[in-house]
Amino acid sequence: MKINPSEINKILCIKPRGIGDIVLSTIILDNLVAHYPNAKIDYLTEHFAKHSVTNNPLVNKVLTMHKTEFVLKVAWRIRKEKYDMLIDLWSNPRSAQITFFSGVKYRVGYAYRGRKYAYNILGTSGKGDHHSAEHNLELLTPLGVNIISKKLHYYVGNLEKVFADKFFNDNNLDGEKVFGIIPAGGWDSKRCDKEKWVDICTESVNKFNCKILVLWGPGDESDAQFIKSKLGENCLLAPKSSLPQMAAMISECDLVIANDSGPMHIAAALGVKTLGIFGPTNPKAHGPYSQNSDYVIKDDLDCIICNKLICPFQHECMRELSTDTVIKKVSSLINR
The per-residue pLDDT for range 239-279, each reduced to its tens digit, is 999 999 999 999 999 999 999 999 999 999 999 999 999 99
Q: Do domains 5-143 and 158-334 have the same CATH topology?
A: yes
Spell out the domain ranges in the chain.
5-143, 158-334
The per-residue pLDDT for range 19-50, each reduced to its tens digit, is 999 999 999 999 999 999 999 999 999 999 99
- Looking at residue 129, what is its pLDDT? 78
pTM above 0.85, yes or no: yes
pLDDT of residue 4 exceeding 90, the answer is yes
Query: Mean pLDDT for the chain?
Result: 97
Give the pLDDT band of residue 127 (cuts 50, 70, 90): low
Q: Phi first, then psi: give them for residue 320, nearest 5 degrees.
A: -100, 5
Minimal CA–CA distance to 234: which of 176, 273, 274, 184?
176
Give the pLDDT band of residue 336 (cuts 50, 70, 90): confident
Instruction: Compute the average pLDDT of residues 161-175.
Output: 97
Give the pLDDT band of residue 160 (cuts 50, 70, 90): very high
- Looking at residue 155, what is its pLDDT? 98
The per-residue pLDDT for range 106-126, each reduced to its tens digit, is 999 999 999 999 999 999 877
Topology given in CATH for the domain delimited by 158-334: Rossmann fold (3.40.50)
- Looking at residue 309, what is its pLDDT? 97
- Looking at residue 97, what is its pLDDT? 98
CATH of domain 5-143: 3.40.50.2000
The rounded percent of the chain whose pLDDT value lies above 90 is: 97
The per-residue pLDDT for range 53-77, each reduced to its tens digit, is 999 999 999 999 999 999 999 999 9
Give the pLDDT band of residue 211 (cuts 50, 70, 90): very high
